[in-house]
Structure 1
Amino acid sequence: MDGALSGAAIHKVIVIGLDGLEPSLVEPMLARGELPHLERLAGTAGLARVATTAPAQTPVAWSTFATGVNPGGHGVFDFLRRDPATYRIDSGLNHYEQKNALLPPKAVNQRRGTTVWDLLTAAGVPSTVLRCPCSYPPDRLRGSLLAGMGVPDLRGGFGTSTYYTAEPDAAARESENLVALADDGLGPVTTHVIGPRNPKTRADHRVEVQLVRASEAGVLTIRSPGEPRELHVREGEWSGWLKVKFKLGPLQSAHGLVRFLLIRRDPTILLYASPVNFDPAAPLFPISAPPEFARKLADGVGKFHTAGFVEDHNGLINERISEEQFLAQCDDAWRERRAMMEHELARFDSGLFYCLFDTPDRVQHMLWRFREPEHPANRGRPETPALATAIEDHYRRSDEVVGQALDHVDDRTLLVVLSDHGFSSFQRQFHLNSWLHREGLLALKPGIAPGHEAGEFLQGIDWEKTRAYAMGLSGVFLNLQGREGRGIVAAEDAEPLRRAIAEKLTGVRDDERGRTAVRSARPRDRVYSGPHVDEAPDVIVDYAPGHRVSWSSSMGGVAGSLHEDNVKKWSGDHCIDPAATPGVLLMNRTFRREGPSLVDLAPTILDAFGVEKGPLMEGSSLKP
């Protein structure tokens, strides 16, 4: 399997994506001999830190991996985007278009550019792509593709769960529906599973279910018209899949998959339902290419999560499920992905194979606080020593996956193991909109004060007096004439204002902590190039490790302070200065280890097959 990277010798390229693996954790684990398969690769060709994107976000980074261009070339800059004409905040990964009422809506990928599998398809080389972010709707290609991050749940969101309770004072939390139960603690309870909204009436489509206490203590039976007709759920454990069908109209139905966690059966039921996933056998919109690939994959490995965010982090953030139950669901997601990988590798004999394992990223987001006793998210919570090693446990699982892939490597295979970015602590929030307000660049409507009154989604902003505003995780937008619906910044003033904001933001300190919160800020023309630069934030903000834009500012809110502790269970992050959060890169053949970047991976894969890189690709092959 060893040797130099050479196009003539290669007939297979296998790429294993391990989302979020942090070099400062990988390297000492390698030194301790805890990652034997990665150690084998490091001993063959070395280990490199790979430069990530600005911002260092999963959809942005993997889009650069796929296209070989910076975000200005592929158009994905954040999880969120805004419609400048209306200031409406929406998904930055894809959107739906409906040209007229007689035609069905069509999903449109926000990621543009030419992918490595596009170029391989043109050259007659097949690809198998499993769960690459920003591949929904799925790209047409020679081979098979299962879309990843960007696939919505059946309600069109990133992950909308349901909480069932008879408690009178309960209220819905983040990305959650709440269903009130009429439960007397004795008889069956009739309730429903919530499906997609009716786009005309905005009412929810529903499937009726009945909750019946089984004779065995701690067991609940869910009866429904779905499959299976009776689903048994044990207290504290995740159920299997329930397949449900929502009737949308005379000739249309939506098929979904949902799982349940019985939190408590007695004296009254507390029940948690996962987001309803598209059924891979009959998705509402195509999630694979060819469209039947998802169904065939399910036939081979069983039902699986299809939503872009598989791991149910919102359930943990909302404190509906415990860390242990979150990890149990992560375990299920991991087994699904391994089964997919093995199923497809067993049939793979030439071309490109790519499979992404997202779980390390999600586990680090949610459990980083257990590495730091002083983390604000730990206040008032009991110590849980058993969870302090959960992240390293998933690194060991990642190593096992690499070992599984190595079983399919021969002397004409290039194996690439890659993380898209690293990881860091997230202890402090920076209220970027509050800073803009204090600098006189953002104004609130008369009578509205910063804080709760200002609301979210940019609703509290007085656009007639606002020159700059923030939303999303990556930067600042100017309220530009001719671009924003109520813009006031003249075109000739835009560039000086970008520079002025960047200069003032650079080096902003968190005086309470006595350290820098913002390492630097840069006008977008110093960060991006390409046809989609006009869609980027006007100023890109690079946070110091330990800091990040606040939850409030990311959703278009204006808080009352500049800095605040992050007390959420989402306690680790990577949306910081990209220089501080590189990814990890290993190969089974020698490669250029000086300064590799994500833009180099697509040219490297193409070079391995003897295919010329795309004319817009910015990187170069890592062939030494």
Structure 2
Amino acid sequence: MQTTERPRMVVLGLDGMPLSLLRELCEAGVTPHLARLALSAQAHEMRAELPELSPVNWTSFATAAGPEEHGVFGFTRIDPRSYAVGIVDSTAVRVPTIFDRIGERGLSSRVVNLPNMYPARPMRGMLVAGFVAPELSRAVFPPFLAGQLRAMNYRLEADTVRGRDNHDLLLSELSATLDARLAALDLFWRDMAWDLFVFVLTEPDRLFHFLFPAMRDVAHPLHGACMELFRHLDRVAGALLERYDALPGPKRLVALADHGFTDLVTEVDMNAWLAGHGYLRLEGHALSELDASVITPSTTAFALDPGRIYLHTAERFARGRLGAVDAMALRHRLREELLRMEYAGRPVMRAVHLREELYPGPMAPFAPDLVCEAQPGMSLTAKFDGRSVFGLHGRSGAHAADGAFFYDSAGERAHTTRDAGRLVLDFFGCSTQY
């Protein structure tokens, strides 16, 4: 039975949504439901954790901790013995989640489409994980949810592989995943047996990667279609907000993006740059962009997505030959050279961070030695089969560390996604310390 004694929190996630663009859409009347958040005094910009990627930042929210504690530094990780590169998932997370923490207090969570929660782990509540989630049966908890979601034709993710070259298909796919999120909202909300509800819409990020210029350019042939997709997204978000409004108090609403977005100037392949400067040496031909098996013992540095640079030390990697003293000198030299990199007369890097500066915590030994923070519009990549440092490869939008959307009905401010997670713990009376 519903009572006014049960404090509830609802969290709306908008993956990749810049506050500035959201306000433009609200002022133009495209997103009237979201206007009550974005145009309010409680909305402000937030900065992403570095690197400004979804798995890093949504994990920071989900754990109320930074990468130096939770251990997720990018989309990929490398085995230091075999050099196999794999996609990061929930098994890489080294601290309890906010759902674990409030679950210990007997409180229940419902979570829809939160990235980097795959494979789903047991929790007090219900979960369908978000990107990267290749298989529905392992994306849900409890397991019976897979059958219910499958019967509703739930879509874990839009087909952006085919959508990269077929934007009409991309828009159709994103519309279908929005319908799936709405169906999951209905399923997860209905019994009201929860304390925390997290609902993430990843569709903005997917759209922006391939059609970001169409969002602002009214002359773009797909501008109207993009606006219609955002009207659809606003209706889905509005369904959540209407349910929130109907809740008795005490209650609290938080909305956030994991990073911002901007127009893409060029992609920058860090491994191609390292190879061109003699730091990365490969033997044979990589079978894919993730094939790090071609790294040779003479390599002194290599990169993983997006701009994480690892020194190839003997202490850390099976084939590494670099000693500690040489490594210390090398990272400072690399930092200076990277800060001098230019594209079309423009600096590529905004900053190059040393590991101990950025990640002073227990997972620091597993962190990259250098983390490159690009200038707006410079999208860093790290491929082992690339040859060109600069180029465009089907994308038109780039992640931005600054400008992410944040809103809190209580008026609190979050500076990063980990702070947003801490607001959840504070609301439910949990310590933010591990």
Q: Same fold (TM over 0.5)?
A: yes
Q: 1:437 aligns with which of 267, 270, 275?
A: 275
1:459-514 per-residue CA deviation (whole Å, 9 max, x = no partner) reads 55432x2211123213111111022111111123333322321222124211xx22
In the other structure, the counterpart of 2:351 is: 520
Alpha-carbon distance between aligned partners in 2 of 1:496 and 1:454, rounded to the nearest angstrom: 32
| Counterpart code for 1:292 | F
In the other structure, the counterpart of 1:408 is: 243
Q: 1:330 aligns with which of 166, 174, 179?
A: 174
Aligned sequence identity (%): 28
Q: 2:407 aligns with which of 571, 586, 608?
A: 586
Q: Is the 8 A contact 1:524 1:537 kept in 2?
A: yes
In the other structure, the counterpart of 2:123 is: 141
Alpha-carbon distance between aligned partners in 2 of 1:530 and 1:605, rounded to the nearest angstrom: 22
The reply on whether 1:17 has 2:17 as its aligned counterpart is no
Task: Tell me the secondary structure at the aligned position of residue 292 of structure 2.
Answer: coil
Cα root mean square deviation, aligned: 2.6
Q: Is the 8 A contact 1:16 1:354 kept in 2?
A: yes
The reply on whether 1:497 has 2:325 as its aligned counterpart is no
1:43 Cα shift?
Answer: 5.6
Alpha-carbon distance between aligned partners in 1 of 2:115 and 2:256, rounded to the nearest angstrom: 14
The reply on whether 1:458 has 2:297 as its aligned counterpart is no
Distance 1:481 1:333, change over 3 A: same
Distance 1:453 1:537, change over 3 A: closer
In the other structure, the counterpart of 2:110 is: 128
In the other structure, the counterpart of 1:604 is: 423
Alpha-carbon distance between aligned partners in 2 of 1:454 and 1:499, rounded to the nearest angstrom: 32
Distance 1:29 1:350, change over 3 A: same
Q: 1:542 aligns with which of 373, 378, 388?
A: 373
Distance 1:116 1:461, change over 3 A: closer
Alpha-carbon distance between aligned partners in 2 of 1:371 and 1:359, rounded to the nearest angstrom: 13
Alpha-carbon distance between aligned partners in 1 of 2:345 and 2:287, rounded to the nearest angstrom: 28
Q: 2:162 aligns with which of 308, 315, 328?
A: 315
1:196-215 equivalent positions in 2, closer than 5 A: none
- Aligned pair count reads 427
Alpha-carbon distance between aligned partners in 2 of 1:403 and 1:372, rounded to the nearest angstrom: 23
TM-score by length of 2: 0.90
Larger Rg: 1
Alpha-carbon distance between aligned partners in 1 of 2:149 and 2:281, rounded to the nearest angstrom: 52
1:341-380 equivalent positions in 2, closer than 5 A: 341-370=185-214
In the other structure, the counterpart of 2:302 is: 469
Distance 1:426 1:134, change over 3 A: same
The reply on whether 1:110 has 2:106 as its aligned counterpart is no
Q: Is the 8 A contact 1:120 1:126 kept in 2?
A: yes
Distance 1:37 1:507, change over 3 A: farther
| Counterpart code for 1:421 | H
1:455 Cα shift?
Answer: 7.4
Task: Tell me the secondary structure at the aligned position of residue 373 of structure 2.
Answer: strand
The reply on whether 1:289 has 2:141 as its aligned counterpart is yes
Alpha-carbon distance between aligned partners in 1 of 2:412 and 2:286, rounded to the nearest angstrom: 54
Where in structure 1 are there 5+ consecutive unaligned residues?
A: 1-7, 95-108, 153-277, 374-382, 617-624
In the other structure, the counterpart of 1:396 is: 231
Distance 1:294 1:45, change over 3 A: farther
Alpha-carbon distance between aligned partners in 2 of 1:442 and 1:71, rounded to the nearest angstrom: 26
Q: Is the 8 A contact 1:10 1:608 kept in 2?
A: no
1:340 Cα shift?
Answer: 0.9
Alpha-carbon distance between aligned partners in 2 of 1:332 and 1:558, rounded to the nearest angstrom: 33
Q: Is the 8 A contact 1:432 1:549 kept in 2?
A: yes
1:369 Cα shift?
Answer: 4.5
In the other structure, the counterpart of 1:387 is: 222
Greater RCO (Cα-Cα under 8 Å, separation 6 or more): 2
Task: Tell me the secondary structure at the aligned position of residue 407 of structure 1.
Answer: helix
The reply on whether 1:565 has 2:384 as its aligned counterpart is no
The reply on whether 1:613 has 2:431 as its aligned counterpart is yes
Alpha-carbon distance between aligned partners in 1 of 2:53 and 2:365, rounded to the nearest angstrom: 19
Q: Is the 8 A contact 2:272 2:383 kept in 1?
A: no
Distance 1:312 1:297, change over 3 A: closer
Tell me which protein shows more strand as a share of its residues: 1
Task: Tell me the secondary structure at the aligned position of residue 260 of structure 2.
Answer: coil
1:526-562 per-residue CA deviation (whole Å, 9 max, x = no partner) reads 1113222222221101111221224xxx222352x44
| Counterpart code for 1:608 | F
Q: Is the 8 A contact 2:270 2:307 kept in 1?
A: no
